[in-house]
Amino acid sequence: QVQVVESGGGLVRPGGSLRLSCAASTFSFSSYDMSWHRQAPGKERELVASITSASASSSTNYADSIKGRFTISRDNTKNTVYLQMNSLKPDDTAVYYCKAARRGYYSWGQGTQVTVSS
């Protein structure tokens, strides 16, 4: 059982940066696989980035659309996963969701809005 809460969304101009945070309420945070997803109006929810539970060798995966611009990371001492978003584009506008998963169990956050507009 785990609850996750996203924060850090907002309005930013093209080319700007934001850092999203996802705080998890669990004593076993390091054992969870964490990921960021996003959903734009009229679009299917898509995986943006993921990071595995292995702190010693956490592997990451990124969607092609954001590769080289976004970075996912985790701080197991703070029970938090981050999404650093650089060089933002209008197409990045969406609600961003955090997901925690472990052994078939998963939880979604409530989402945080990111709007990229001039």
Asked if residue 37 has pLDDT above 80, the reply is yes
* Percent share of the chain, pLDDT over 90: 91
The count of other CB atoms within 10 Å of the CB of residue 2 is 17
Name the 3-class secondary structure at 91: helix
pLDDT at 72: 97
Closest CA to 26 of 47, 57, 42, 2: 2
Closest CA to 9 of 38, 47, 33: 38
Asked if residue 56 has pLDDT above 70, the reply is no
Q: What is the mean pLDDT of residues 48-52?
A: 97
Taking a C-beta distance cutoff of 8 angstroms, is the pair 32, 4 a contact?
A: no
Asked if residue 55 has pLDDT above 80, the reply is no
* Percent share of the chain, pLDDT over 70: 98
pLDDT at 102: 92
Distance CA 32, CA 24 (A): 10
